[in-house]
Amino acid sequence: MESTPTTSARPDAVAGIPMPALRNHAATHQEHLLEDLRRIVHAETPSHDKALLDAGLEVIRTLAVERLGEPQAEARTDGGVHGDVLDLRWPGRDVDGGEITELESSVLSVCHYDTVWPAGTITGWPLTAEGDRLTGPGVLDMKFGIVQTLWAVRALRELGVPHAPLRLLLTGDEEIGSTAGRPAIEAAAAQSALTLVPEPSAAGQPKDRRKGMVFADLTVHGVQAHAGLEPEKGASAVHALAAVVPDIVALASPDDGTTVTVGTFHGGTSRNVVAGQATCQVDVRVTEAAEQDRVAEGLRALRLPQPHAADPRLRLEIAVDANRPPMNPTPASRAAMDRVERLAAGLGRRITPAAVGGASDANFVSALGLPVLDGLGAVGEGPHAVHEHILVSEIAPQTALLAGLLADVAARP
């Protein structure tokens, strides 16, 4: 763990919650947890492959039932071309062993099961242990978070620790914008006492600030012509769109934490053809909502510069999606982070929340002013990269921390 240990003695319990015992339970059952992780990592779930997403979701549901029993309530929402949303609920336990079933008392765990890795990746890259590193496609981002959630509840049950009801929301399009997932996430968060997002941690630390995102797709339509015989009869979409790029990147404001990147640029059909069409994709990251609005409006206002603007054969199309609002600390989330700090002290750890450039589904919850904790998942490196991995030695403490939060919500509503 790359966090800093506390200098005080480690308590055996925090407000009656046996944090060391929860960590030891996860450590004792680590081999089972790893086998569960292997099952869902090997069930490939690329964001754009509906058939594999459906099959992978069935694998995850089967595993959840094996670990926690049939849910008390279940709903599945069709994601259309995207992955479906599966909403599973299990009751909590009070100090007398009775069930807690009230929806507003539940802790919501939001986990996306889609990954950036294409079908067939697992064939050449199965889940593999390399010392303390466990590597495989999607193991860090974020299939560990699913298994972590299940085993956190199982530990609480087997140790007889009172805990809040669990609501597990599984979404299948987080990596491509959460078009299908967002409405379900916002609705479920509004009905829950606390939302947890076990996305990868920041070297073992939760994340309390994430940048917001704006996506833009620009397309220029022109006229094709032979580049050698009659270039004057063409109107190059590539030349015109390239002239817009400086205006795109000029919308960045580094002093405000706003970055603008043209990530892709495609156009034309051949070297000797005046390009009839060109497209580019733009990624924007912002720290404040006002910047998100400014850049989104700036993108929508883009026009072809001269001399291209004077050519009626050239046409610019712009599609802008202010995809995720920025996530910054709110009073509700600060109070939730206080819970994390107290519970982590029971494991001898000090919490220093991190700010990161990437966005997650926690951004949606934070924007509603609701309590949300993000980055509670695996410790590792390399999301979306071929060195993606988690640290096996940090599985038990991260799982214990998630379990502690479920117990703390029951003990301190």
Task: Report if residue 3 sits inside a domain.
Answer: no
Task: Report if residue 373 sits inside a domain.
Answer: yes
pLDDT tens digits along 273-286: 999 999 999 999 99
Task: Report if residue 7 sits inside a domain.
Answer: no
What does residue 92 show for φ and ψ, rounded to 5 degrees?
-95, -170
From 324, 353, 375, give the residue that closes a domain.
324
Assess contact for 254 and 357: CB atoms under 8 A.
Answer: no
Assess contact for 303 and 240: CB atoms under 8 A.
Answer: no
| Calpha distance 42→385 (Å, rounded) | 17
pLDDT tens digits along 68-117: 999 999 999 999 999 999 999 999 999 999 999 999 999 999 999 999 99
Report the relative pairing of strands 315-324 and 225-226 from DSSP bridges: unpaired
Q: Is the pLDDT of residue 7 over 90?
A: no
Q: What is the CATH number of the domain that holds 131?
A: 3.40.630.10
Task: Report if residue 10 sits inside a domain.
Answer: no
Residues 363 and 239 in one domain: no
Task: Provide the residue range defining the domain that includes 397.
Answer: 19-209+327-411
Give every CB contact of residue 316 below 8 A, 6+ residues apart in sequence: 218, 219, 220, 240, 241, 244, 302, 303, 304
DSSP sequence for 35-100: HHHHHHHHS--BTT-HHHHHHHHHHHHHHHHHHH-S-SEEEEE--TTSEEEEEEEE-EE-TTS-EE
DSSP sequence for 245-312: HHHHHTT-BGGGTBEEEEEEEEE-S-TTEE-SEEEEEEEEEESSHHHHHHHHHHHHT--PPTTGGG-T
| Calpha distance 205→337 (Å, rounded) | 11
Confidence of residue 6 (pLDDT cuts 50, 70, 90): very low
| Calpha distance 326→210 (Å, rounded) | 6
Q: State the pLDDT at residue 12.
A: 57
Confidence of residue 141 (pLDDT cuts 50, 70, 90): very high
Task: Report if residue 275 sits inside a domain.
Answer: yes
Q: 227 by DSSP, 3-state: which?
A: coil
Average pLDDT over residues 220-225: 98
How many domains, in total, are found in the chain? 2
Q: State the pLDDT at residue 413.
A: 84
Residues 176 and 202 in one domain: yes
Residues 146 and 250 in one domain: no
Residues 151 and 294 in one domain: no
Residues 347 and 382 in one domain: yes
Q: Is the pLDDT of residue 320 over 50?
A: yes
Confidence of residue 161 (pLDDT cuts 50, 70, 90): very high
From 270, 303, 324, give the residue that closes a domain.
324
Residues 50 and 196 in one domain: yes
- Round the average pLDDT of the chain to a whole number and report it: 95
| Calpha distance 243→167 (Å, rounded) | 50
Residue with tokens 């200098």: 7
Q: 47-83 burial, b if ≥16 CB within 10 A, otherwise e?
A: bbbbebbeebbeebbebbeebbeebeeeeeeebeebb
Residues 308 and 355 in one domain: no
- From the list 367, 370, 382, 378, the residue with the least C-alpha distance to 402 is 378
Q: State the pLDDT at residue 223.
A: 98
- From the list 126, 1, 113, 114, the residue with the least C-alpha distance to 63 is 113
Task: Report if residue 165 sits inside a domain.
Answer: yes
Residues 216 and 301 in one domain: yes
Average pLDDT over residues 372-382: 98
| Residue 227: both structure tokens together | 């580049």
Secondary-structure percent of the chain, ordered helix, strand, coil, rounded to 5: 40, 25, 35
| Calpha distance 37→147 (Å, rounded) | 6
DSSP sequence for 23-35: HHHHHHTHHHHHH
| Calpha distance 318→389 (Å, rounded) | 37
| Residue 276: both structure tokens together | 């009839």
Other beta carbons less than 10 A from residue 284's beta carbon:
26
| Calpha distance 151→166 (Å, rounded) | 12
pLDDT tens digits along 334-354: 999 999 999 999 999 999 999
Assess contact for 114 and 172: CB atoms under 8 A.
Answer: yes
Q: Is the pLDDT of residue 8 over 80?
A: no
pLDDT tens digits along 294-315: 999 999 999 999 999 999 999 9
Q: State the pLDDT at residue 15.
A: 75
Residues 285 and 316 in one domain: yes
Q: What is the CATH number of the domain that holds 258?
A: 3.30.70.360
Task: Report if residue 361 sits inside a domain.
Answer: yes
Task: Report if residue 13 sits inside a domain.
Answer: no
From 309, 324, 339, give the residue that closes a domain.
324
- From the list 352, 378, 391, 316, the residue with the least C-alpha distance to 148 is 378
| Residue 380: both structure tokens together | 């590792």
Sequence letter at residue 2: E
Sequence letter at residue 303: R
Residues 235 and 146 in one domain: no
Residues 283 and 186 in one domain: no
Residues 90 and 231 in one domain: no
pLDDT tens digits along 234-276: 999 999 999 999 999 999 999 999 999 999 999 999 999 999 9
Confidence of residue 3 (pLDDT cuts 50, 70, 90): very low
Q: Specify the DSSP element, H or E, that contains 156.
A: helix 144-159
For the entire predicted model, the pTM comes to 0.92
